[in-house]
Amino acid sequence: MSDEGTRQDVVPPDYAAGAGLPWWAKVASKLAIAALRVPPALLRRAGVNRHSFIAESESRVLHEPCTRAGEFANRQGRPPRGVLELGPGRLVVRAPAYAALGCAPVWFADVEDDAPEDPAAYARVAELARGIGLPAPVLEGLPNKAAVLAACGARQLIGGTEVLAAIPDSSVELIVSDVVLEHVRRDALPGLLAELRRVAAPNCLGVHAVDFHDHVGGALNTLRFPPGFWEGPLVARSGLYVNRMGLSEIRAAFAQAGFATRLRDIRRWPASPPGAGAAHPSLSRRAEDDLIAFARIEALPV
């Protein structure tokens, strides 16, 4: 597919820099916490390694599902029948929105369960959907999250790529991931994309937002670390892990799995950020990839 019409923005050099600490101090603190083996759920309750601090805003829980389903409907003349969200975290609360849009069945696949247990969180989204005229299911009075998801025609799949085996072949018409693919381990990404190709219907639309910057301090300083350390268990536990693949590598992996890709929008640094020139030689990154901070990729099966 052609990239003609891609929206391109230039971001400031300190894009996604976060708190005003040196990048190495942030990395060291994350690694120190990981070495203590504090349970992930406890860290999230303390505000560390949370999926998103705005996960339950109206924009995210209602408007984004409407937008993605609308993009499919603009192409096919109807809502998608079968939706897969990768790594939704707390955004499992979108289930009533998808039900109101007529998108069932819906699968939410994640490595751990961070979705709210309180049915009231889902009832709130259903009420928001009804507020804009959508026929959301009535969820008041349901006893737990499991009952809510069943009423919405939705299901959680918790674990690695293997959990996608529960989804029938060619049954998904909309696949969504939001800053998820960069966290998939480098050696696991081909298998994940192969599974997405298996479950994708012939008319499937995939929309994947990918951050290419470090997740502490922005820039590309994590490229400095050798793979033997970066792919090890300490980094995996720390919440620091990104697979350090550039845009061209991600697109090549999609192509290998049987998807054609198009860039919807990209954000570029004005010049190579800190760390790009010090990348470990084994990474063999393209120079043009070192300018890309973010991309939204459309993927269609071929």
Segment 248-293, tens digit of pLDDT = 999 999 999 999 999 999 999 999 999 999 999 999 899 999 999 9
Is the CB of residue 300 less than 8 Å from the CB of residue 201? no
Question: Residues 6 or more apart from 302 whose CB is under 8 A from it?
Answer: 258, 259, 260
Q: Read off the pTM.
A: 0.93
Which region among 35-44, 85-94, 104-113, 220-229 has the lowest average model confidence (pLDDT)?
Answer: 35-44
Run of H or E including 300: strand 292-301
DSSP 60: I
Res. 48 pLDDT band, cuts 50 70 90: low
Which region among 35-39, 41-45, 159-163 has the lowest average model confidence (pLDDT)?
Answer: 41-45
Which residue in 49, 35, 17 sits closest to 241, CA to CA? 49
What pLDDT is attached to residue 55? 59
Res. 56 pLDDT band, cuts 50 70 90: confident
Question: Residues 6 or more apart from 178 whose CB is under 8 A from it?
Answer: 87, 88, 91, 209
Largest CA distance in the chain: 58
Which residue in 135, 133, 134, 137 sits closest to 123, CA to CA? 137
Run of H or E including 301: strand 292-301
What pLDDT is attached to residue 51? 52
Res. 3 pLDDT band, cuts 50 70 90: confident
Which residue in 152, 148, 138 sits closest to 102, CA to CA? 152
Segment 231-243, tens digit of pLDDT = 999 999 998 999 9
Segment 69-97, tens digit of pLDDT = 999 999 999 999 999 999 999 999 999 99
| Residue 261 backbone phi and psi in degrees, to 5 | -120, 155
Average pLDDT over residues 175-189: 97
Res 44 pLDDT > 80: no
What pLDDT is attached to residue 47? 57
Q: End-to-end distance of the chain based on CA atoms, in angstroms? A: 10
The domain locations on the chain are: 1-48+179-302, 51-65+76-177
Average pLDDT over residues 116-140: 96
What pLDDT is attached to residue 41? 63
Res 53 pLDDT > 50: no
Provide, rounded to the nearest whole percent, the portion of the chain with pLDDT above 70. Answer: 94
Is the CB of residue 246 less than 8 Å from the CB of residue 46? no
